[in-house]
Chains A and B, each alone.
Chain A
Amino acid sequence: MKNRKGLTLIEIMISLVVMSIFVFSLIMAFQNTNVGIFLNRSRTIANALAEEKIEIMKNIDYYRLLVTCPPYNTSYDQIYYPPETFIFGNKSFERRILVEKVKENPTGELVTIQWDTLPDVGLKKITVYVVWNEGGDEKSYFLSNLVRNPDYEITAKIVGTVKNSTTSLALEDVQVFLESMPVYETYTNSAGKYSLDIPEGLNRVVASKHGYFLTRTEAITLVGEQTIDFNLLPKGYGSAAGVVWKHDHLVISQVCAEVWDMYGDPLGRDRYKEVIQLYNPTTYQMLINTTTLKLIYVDDDNNQIMIAPAYKRNTISSKGFLLFVGSLDGATSVYNNISGDATYYALIPIGSGESGGVCIRDSYGIAIDSIAWGNNAWKSAPASAKEGDALILAGSGGLLEQWIVERKAHTTATLTTMGNGQTDQSKGHAFDTQNNNLDLVGGEVASGSRTAQNSLSATETPVSGTPASGAIAFADDDLSSMVVATTGYYYITQISTGPWTLTITSGTLFVQTTFYMYASSTVVRNVVISSVSPYGYIMGTLLKANLQPNSGIRIDGGGQTTTSGSSGRFVLPVPTGTITVTINTNLDKPNYIEITTGPFNVDFGDKIELGQIIVYYNGGVSGTVTSSGGDPLANVVIIAADVATLQERANDMTDINGQYSLSNLASDMTDTYYILPYLSETSGETSTPARYELTFTSTGTYFTDKNFSISQAYAVITGTVTENNQKIKTGVLIIATTSTIAGDPSTINSTFRSGSQVYYSCSSGVEGYFSINVPGAVGAGTLTYYLYAWYSKLGESEAVNSKKSTTIGASAGGKYDAEFSWP
């Protein structure tokens, strides 16, 4: 017994570990399987809920199927289709509904269009989302379906070829569309051919392509298949060029070391007054003091000597000056009868070979501007003060008496032209290409040819600046392309003839200027960018219905506003992000309609072209809808339909006061509209009058008091069916009628349908909920309805039918509740 082999502790432990791993794996597998089971169960429920709602929504008449708010905007439509919550087991499911207008694009894809896009294209997309929480994660399931307006018939077709009228070559990517219904559009292929399915009716067909004059047909009746060819005339073009300047920093505009007297100078160098003058070409005022600005003199041995000015005034205005006066006592401030803004001990030597430099730096020591002068034949300029090449002072290499170093006003300015009374005297001193030898001039100036400028002197608007290297330049025409001004010089070719706006942007700055482009010419514009740029640009051309430019129309987007120019062209600078553009915002020009387009994703430097947009004249109509008893009827859809095509151009739903208002009715192309209430085809509702036929004879016509009286307007009876307090999910037959059903419901055949008794019926849905529409009373008061419900339980071959009933007094437009419960 003593020698019997048993299990050692290690063996037991290994066995336990192995067993544990196995058991743990088993548990994990079990858990995963359970998760899968529950997830599939939830998905099955979600699928059932989505399918059910899709079917309910599809049963709503097209016009009454209201387009909902985008879900990302308002968390689904809370008024007409609010989210519904269902509890299955211990899990909550929320059902959300999205109804969108959609259209088929030329490639056959469905794309969502704005809810107020007119005219309506007769296609809506219903999407039902079901969301629930599964193990802490939000899960979702959705189904989509399409509903087509049965009144719309896309039976006509136009085909054709588009060519260049000059070369007769086929044109690709030409947009072809119906003028009054631009949602019907297509583009030509590489052979210049197009094909477009359209509704029948009177219309004009338009062909449009960048760089070509827009062309359209006369108003013609489009029916069947017709061939319409276009020959587009190319536009003439020219070019624009120039230099882009920016003003983003303070510059040293003048340095003067007037007199050298080695005996009177405590430092053994300067004796009399000297001057350093700063110029502020920016658009903002600056506060200058010993903290914000370091003023440094660099001697010919490249030693940096900090100047410590005593300030009297320390504000330098936009386009203004600041004068530092150096003297032997460090306190003398008057120079040429001009009071210096600050004083300091003079230290700039004069004399041949006395190269030197001056720097200004910010509080972190980062260079703002530097200048250096010298002559290599004597002594090189100090390296730490140079920008590019130092100014070569011919002959001397240093400042002499009555010599100055002065920053140019522009490229070709000279000491002479910048003197008092000369052409460049008051053009600022902003020329700064980061190369001292190009930017500065130096030499002797005649006595009285210069007047010192301090912070109290008149400001000067600069005509040059620092080249905006890398700036982006573009014209707002529809032909040319954006260019990059690599060195600050831009050259834009192929700009269409006409009046345009040139936009140039660099970093956070931008500028716009207008010009007229003549064919085969070049416009030169040297511009200064100073305004803060909002980064992206949206542009387009606004036209009237006669295709003439529509100028002076307000355009808004991203918090920015602009106005269309004389050519109808606009460029809207916008911040980056998602931008929606509104044209003629809030009917700024009441005679024209408001158009909303987008959203567009705008990135820095983006140039988004909207093309040509026709802004029609605006018409409107308003009125009230009442029952024949005189009560206001809410939720009645009122449509404005094009008389020619019967297509919907605008719609509204009456509010609780029965009032409606239709606007944005374009009155250029279609002068006459039908205004009518949409009455469900399954109702007995009749309207008096059936419709109005309104002719918009002038721009901005607005009709009021176009009222409707609806006879036998619907009442809605809704309710639930339950068994033992549980919702019946398998369907219950509901019938409402104005006379009693003593026993079983009648056989419904042609005799019954033409008889006096009418059944209004439906089945309850999977939620145990039903909704049934019945005509309300004619006139005031109520109409009594007998409401019956039959619930059947099945055997293998027979059913047990159980009947319940109740009565409802229904007035026109009323809403009523009813409940049926078993046992």
Chain B
Amino acid sequence: MTLIELMVAMTIMGIIGLGMVQLLSSITRFQTMTVAQIGVQRDARMALEIIKRQIRETKQTSVIIDRENSSQPFCSRIYFKDANDNEIYFYQVGKKIYMKTKKTGWPSWNTKEIAKDLRYLTFCYQDTRNPDLISVSLCFEKIALGSNTKFMHLSIEKVRLMN
């Protein structure tokens, strides 16, 4: 094999190799994007379902909307009692949502993280004179493939308080 033949072969191999790298890169990128997008959608749907299910059984008079501490966004925490007087909090700390519960007669609170990658959580009344309806808004945001690519999902739902 001559040097020229060797160079031609290497050039061709190089082109093919470059194409393969780009292809694999695209596939990986696509997979990462899809996983990230599905992830935030799943988290949003799951968190919203948990919150809605609990709030629906709330005693209207027990509801308090504020925030966990002064470093958190406004209206990002809700407290209420359900029909059995179990006490429940949903609140935001940074990029996470927590649920804190205390069953009637139990001495201590149980806290668990229900979602991360949170971007926005707000509980608000359309009209504070009407305690029947609470609007729950939450947004999840995930950064993937470097800091320039974000995947987010925003959901807003009204929940009717039944008690």
Contacts and interface: CB of A to CB of B under 8 A. Distances in A.
Given A26-B23, A684-B129, A801 B156 contact: no
A733 B63 CA distance: 19
Contacts of A23: 15-16, 19
B14 interface: no
Contact of A790 (B74, B93, B130): B74
B157 A765 contact: no
Interface in B114-159: 118-120, 122, 124-133, 135, 137-139, 141, 152-158
A19 interface: yes
Contacts of B126: 682, 760-762, 773
A784 B64 CA distance: 27
A532 interface: no
B40 to A, nearest CB: 10
Contacts of B15: 23
Interface stretch (B29-37, B82-90, B99-107): B29-37
B72 interface: yes
Given A51-B155, A797-B71, A801-B74, A763 B30 contact: no
Contact of A745 (B75, B120, B130): B75
Contacts of A749: 63-65
Nearest to A799: B73
Contact of A55 (B65, B139, B157): B157
A33 B120 contact: no
A59 B137 CA distance: 12
Which of the four size classes fits the interface of chain B? 35 or more
Most chain B CB within a 10 A radius of its CB, from A33, A799, A801: A799
Nearest to A790: B74
A772 to B, nearest CB: 8
Contacts of B152: 729-730, 766
A761 B72 contact: no
A729 B155 CA distance: 11
A22 interface: yes
A737 to B, nearest CB: 9
A733 B73 contact: yes
A759 interface: yes
A797 B131 contact: no
B27 interface: yes
A799 B128 CA distance: 25
A752 B16 CA distance: 70
B154 A758 contact: no
Contacts of A36: 30
Most chain A CB within a 10 A radius of its CB, from B33, B61, B155: B155
Interface string A729-749: 111010100000000110111
Nearest to A27: B19
Contacts of B153: 48, 51
B157 A59 contact: yes
Given A27-B19, A762-B135, A730 B120 contact: yes
B94 A753 contact: no
Which of the four size classes fits the interface of chain A? 35 or more
Nearest to B44: A51
Interface in A87-125: none
Nearest to B69: A798
B22 interface: yes
Contact of B22 (A30, A758, A759): A30
A446 interface: no
Given A30-B23, A759-B128, A733 B5 contact: no
Contact of A758 (B29, B128, B133, B135): B128
Most chain B CB within a 10 A radius of its CB, from A6, A733, A765, A796: A733
Contacts of A414: none
A480 B5 CA distance: 91
A91 B133 CA distance: 37
A7 interface: yes
Interface stretch (A37-45, A343-351, A355-363, A437-445): A37-45
A649 B23 CA distance: 62
A21 interface: no
Contacts of B127: 682-684, 758-760, 773
B124 A33 contact: no
A27 B12 CA distance: 14
A58 interface: yes
A56 interface: yes
B130 A748 contact: no
Contacts of B118: 794
Given A730-B141, A733-B75, A795 B94 contact: yes
A384 to B, nearest CB: 80
Interface string B1-45: 010010000001001100110110011011001100100010000
A137 interface: no
A645 interface: no
A683 B156 CA distance: 20
A373 B15 CA distance: 95
29 contacts: A23-B16, A23-B19, A26-B23, A33-B23, A40-B30, A56-B156, A58-B157, A58-B158, A59-B158, A150-B160, A682-B127, A682-B132, A729-B139, A733-B124, A745-B75, A748-B63, A749-B63, A749-B65, A759-B124, A760-B128, A762-B126, A763-B156, A765-B154, A766-B154, A792-B73, A795-B94, A798-B71, A801-B73, A801-B74
Interface of A: 6-7, 19, 22-23, 26-27, 29-30, 33-34, 36-37, 40-41, 44, 47-48, 51-52, 55-56, 58-59, 150, 681-684, 729-731, 733, 735, 744-745, 747-750, 752-753, 758-763, 765-766, 773, 790, 792, 794-799, 801
Interface of B: 2, 5, 12, 15-16, 19-20, 22-23, 26-27, 29-30, 33-34, 37, 41, 61-66, 71-75, 93-95, 118-120, 122, 124-133, 135, 137-139, 141, 152-158, 160
Given A731-B138, A792-B73, 10 more contacts: A26-B20, A44-B37, A682-B127, A748-B63, A748-B125, A763-B137, A794-B94, A796-B94, A798-B94, A801-B74
